[in-house]
Each structure stands twice: as C-alpha cells, then as structure tokens.
C-alpha cells in the first residue's frame, strides 16, 4: 500500500508538471495567476520543471519495481521540488505576486516529502 501511494503521487506529479506548463501556454488568464513579476522569471523555472517531471516519472518506475534506487530517486525529486519552492517563495516575495504558486509549490514539496517517507 505504501509503495502504491508513493508511486501514485510521483506519477501524478510527473503528469501535473507538464500539464501546468501547457495551461500556462494556452491560457493567459491562467498564467496571470502564477506570474512572478516579469514574464521571464516564471519562464526561468521551465528547465527545472522538466527535470522534476522526468525525475518523478523515473522515480515512479523505480518505486513500482521496488528497485534499490527508488529511495535515491525519491530524494532527487524532493530536492528538485524543494529548490523550486524556495525559488518561488523568493521570487514571490520580491515581486509581491505569485502567491498561488507559493501555495502550489508548498503542497508539491509536502507531497514529495510524504512520498519519500513511503518509499522504503
């Protein structure tokens, strides 16, 4: 059960990240809810989010396979999302915008931390 919950969260995150970017690209109104001042600031998160989505997908497979690398992969996911969350908080404070992004990233960090704990 623990493995399934961890894998489910990691898989959801692997899908949610690119879906969120698609939403940003397709809907200016959606994007405005997450802007951090200058448009380039939010765009600068893209490379890290690509890495996060790929790491989440890889970790999902490793968790499901009960591979010994599942723990380190979940650690990587947690590290990537924590760094992105810290950057989001810093940019939101500096721009006085992007509060919804702070909430979303804090939730993602918490979810990734729980998934990591569930991976043995």
Q: What are the structure tokens assigned to 107, written together?
A: 């939730």
Amino acid 120: pLDDT = 80
DSSP single-letter state for residue 37: S
CB proximity list for 87: less than 8 A, separation 6 or greater: 45, 48
Whether the pLDDT of residue 116 is over 90: the answer is yes
* Cα–Cα distance, 68 to 45 (Å, whole number): 30
27 — alpha (psi -120 to 50), left (phi > 0) or beta?
beta
Write down the H helix ranges in the chain.
2-26, 28-32, 39-43, 46-64, 70-95, 99-118
* pLDDT value of residue 21: 98
Average pLDDT estimate for 21-30: 98
User: Quick check: 26 pLDDT over 90?
Assistant: yes
Say yes or no to pLDDT of 1 above 90. no
The Cα–Cα gap between 70 and 48 comes to 20
pLDDT score of 15 more than 90: yes
Region 105-118 average pLDDT: 98
For residue range 27-77, list pLDDT tens digits in order. Answer: 999 999 999 999 999 999 999 999 999 999 999 999 999 999 999 999 999
Whole-number mean pLDDT of the chain?
97
């Amino acid at each position: 059960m623990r493995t399934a919950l961890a894998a489910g969260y990691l898989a959801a995150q692997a899908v949610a990240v690119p879906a969120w970017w698609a939403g940003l690209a397709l809907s200016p109104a959606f994007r405005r809810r997450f802007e951090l001042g200058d448009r380039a600031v939010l765009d600068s998160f893209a490379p890290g989010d690509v890495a996060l989505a790929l790491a989440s997908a890889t970790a999902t497979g490793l968790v499901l396979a009960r591979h010994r690398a599942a723990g380190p992969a979940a650690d990587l996911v947690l590290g990537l999302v924590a760094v992105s969350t810290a950057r989001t908080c810093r940019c939101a404070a500096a721009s006085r915008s992007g509060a919804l992004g702070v909430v979303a990233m804090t939730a993602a960090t918490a979810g990734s931390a729980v998934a990591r704990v569930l991976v043995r």
